[in-house]
Amino acid sequence: MTDCLFCKIVSKNIPATVVHETDRTVAFRDLDPQAPTHVLVIPKGHYENAAALAEADDGLADEVLKAAHAVAVREGVAGDGYRIVFNTGPKAGQTVFHVHAHVLGGRPMTWPPG
């Protein structure tokens, strides 16, 4: 998608600090981190949100989840606990409409989120 921010990160038209990459996923640091570890994991292909990704039904959602876990391990937060969040839709706070898993860790977290 030509005017999607995260598609531009995939095509390297916008720089990002990439921490993990597979054939169909890429993970990079959030520009405005909300925790010591705050990484976004995305499929390289464009899906608007987690609902669209789930409907793709080709194993890609599984790959994104596995990549998120790999990031948590690599960042050293898997042992203490971390959070994987898909904001899905405007009411949930989604602002970039290319599906992304937030991987957050490295500090205590409360529940429920605001």
CA distance 17 to 26: 10
Give the nearer residue to Zn ion in terms of CB position, either 46 or 74: 46
Q: What percent of the residues of the chain are helix, what percent strand, and what percent coil, each to the nearest 5?
A: 30, 20, 50
| Binding mask of the shown chain, residues 9 to 48, with x at each position contacting Zn ion by CB under 5 A | -------------------------------------x--
| Catalytic positions | 100
- β-partners of residue 27 are 20, 41
4 binds Zn ion (CB under 5 A): yes
Instruction: Indicate which single residue of 20, 38, 83, 98 sits in contact with Zn ion (rule: CB under 5 A).
Output: 98
User: Do 99 and 48 form a contact (C-beta atoms < 8 A)?
Assistant: yes
Residues near Zn ion (CB under 5 A) = 1, 4, 6-7, 46, 98
